[in-house]
């Protein structure tokens, strides 16, 4: 489609990624007349919510995983405890034999390779009280296994590679939080579900222990964000559903509304505005029955306007953002 021209520029200089985007197309970017009203317009004191805050325990995703016990057993003294004609240092032992050996990191019971290194299935009781039971590859936790920490509450059960969680696995934290999903090099990476002990949860993409890609976060308050993330923050297009029935659909940057957005109230009213740093700028409002429209100023005041002007604003917003075009089509 082709962007349609509006009647005059936006008066708010902060504002609007819509303003910036439309200016790049060399057109004016507001419905408002130069004085903010037109002849016969009626000023209304209808409040407008410029900023909606939602506070969850995990809005910025810091690394939560505890330090894994050392998986690589580096030692020069391998002491054979079980004496059944085996060499005192344990070398040359068949991998099919279960032996008990003492390492600087703790005691190991299980199969070893021809060099006496843990290989196959075995149990390592670390000196710090942690216990790993599962598969080993040449002295390193590798395959499927369970590591239970000294506190008896913290536990990882799943796939390992080179001494670190990698593949699919479930990590239970001492505070009751739980992550079940993909791992890479000891970090949450891929698709996974993180469930908080306070009933919050995040289901979606991860990268380096942070929300990344598409994901859905359900907050304790009942608010829900479903959309794009980048390095633990909302970034890109998404829909934020408030517990009171209101809904925002639009662009985010650095965890804040930034760009074009649609705010749809539970009563059916619909605003199309531009946002910068979570603050709404100027735009238009449609009545619940879509038979009336208002210009909305950045201070929250609004005035009646012609439907054709409001529809022009809507059409241009749809051209710029296919995401909003789809959303608006579903909420006529």
Nearest Cα residue to 169 out of 186, 149, 150: 186
* Lowest-pLDDT range of 46-50, 186-190, 287-291: 46-50
Contact (Cβ atoms closer than 8 angstroms) between residue 103 and residue 78: yes
Q: Is residue 269's pLDDT more than 90?
A: yes
Q: Give the model's confidence band at 16: pLDDT under 50 very low, under 70 low, under 90 confident, else very high.
A: very low
DSSP 8-state symbol, 96: T
Contact (Cβ atoms closer than 8 angstroms) between residue 61 and residue 211: yes
Structure confidence by residue, pLDDT tens digits, 199-226? 999 999 999 999 999 999 999 999 999 9
Contact (Cβ atoms closer than 8 angstroms) between residue 194 and residue 178: yes
- Helix, coil or strand: residue 99: strand
Q: Give the model's confidence band at 66: pLDDT under 50 very low, under 70 low, under 90 confident, else very high.
A: low
Sign of CA dihedral 41, 43, 47, 50: positive
212 phi and psi angles, rounded to 5 deg? -160, 130
CA-CA distance, 86 to 75, in Å (whole number)?
19
- Give the CA distances from residue 258 to residues 9, 10, 28, 66, in Å, rounded to whole numbers and listed in that order: 20, 17, 20, 34
Q: Is residue 263's pLDDT more than 60?
A: yes
Q: Give the model's confidence band at 158: pLDDT under 50 very low, under 70 low, under 90 confident, else very high.
A: very high
DSSP 8-state symbol, 240: E
Q: What is the mean pLDDT of the chain?
A: 78
pTM of the full structure: 0.74
State the average pLDDT over residues 281-307.
94
DSSP 8-state symbol, 70: P
CA-CA distance, 328 to 262, in Å (whole number)?
8
Structure confidence by residue, pLDDT tens digits, 71-128? 545 433 344 333 343 343 333 344 456 778 888 889 999 999 888 889 999 999 999 9
How big is the chain, counted in residues? 332
- Helix, coil or strand: residue 253: strand
| Nearest-10 crossing angle of helices 322-329, 307-320 | 130
Indicate left, alpha or beta for 68 from its phi (over 0: left) and psi (-120 to 50: alpha).
Answer: beta
pLDDT at position 267: 96
- Helix, coil or strand: residue 308: helix
- Could you give the percent of the chain with pLDDT greater than 90? 64
Of 21-30, 67-76, 90-99, 271-280, give the range with the top mean pLDDT: 271-280
């Amino acid at each position: 489609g082709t962007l349609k021209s509006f009647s005059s520029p936006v008066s708010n200089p902060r504002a609007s990624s819509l303003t910036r985007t439309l200016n790049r197309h060399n057109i004016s970017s507001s419905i408002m007349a130069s004085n903010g009203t037109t002849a016969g317009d009626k000023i209304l004191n209808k409040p407008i919510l410029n900023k909606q805050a939602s506070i969850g325990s995990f809005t910025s995703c810091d690394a939560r995983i505890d330090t894994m016990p050392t998986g690589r057993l580096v030692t020069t003294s391998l002491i054979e405890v079980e004496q059944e004609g085996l060499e005192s240092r344990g070398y040359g032992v068949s991998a099919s034999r279960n032996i008990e050996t003492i390492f600087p990191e703790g005691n190991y019971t299980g199969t070893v390779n021809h060099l006496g290194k843990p290989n196959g299935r075995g149990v390592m009781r670390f000196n710090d009280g942690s216990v790993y039971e599962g598969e080993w590859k040449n002295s390193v936790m590798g395959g499927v296994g369970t590591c239970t920490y000294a506190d008896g509450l913290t536990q990882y059960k799943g796939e390992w590679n080179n001494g670190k969680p990698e593949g699919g696995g479930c990590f239970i934290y001492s505070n009751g939080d739980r992550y079940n999903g993909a791992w890479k090099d000891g970090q949450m990476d891929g698709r996974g579900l993180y469930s908080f002990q306070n009933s919050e949860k995040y289901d979606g993409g991860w990268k380096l222990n942070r929300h990344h890609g598409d994901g859905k976060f359900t907050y304790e308050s009942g608010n829900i964000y479903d959309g794009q993330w980048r390095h633990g923050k909302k970034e890109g297009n998404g829909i934020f559903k408030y517990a009171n029935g209101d809904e925002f659909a639009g662009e985010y940057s650095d965890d804040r509304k930034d760009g074009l957005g649609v705010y749809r109230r539970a009563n059916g009213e619909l605003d199309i505005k531009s946002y910068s740093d979570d603050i709404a700028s100027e735009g238009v409002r449609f009545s619940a029955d879509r038979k009336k429209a208002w210009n909305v100023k950045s201070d929250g005041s609004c005035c009646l306007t012609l439907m054709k002007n409001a529809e022009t604003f809507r059409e241009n917003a749809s051209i710029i953002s296919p995401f909003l075009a789809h959303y608006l089509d579903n909420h006529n």
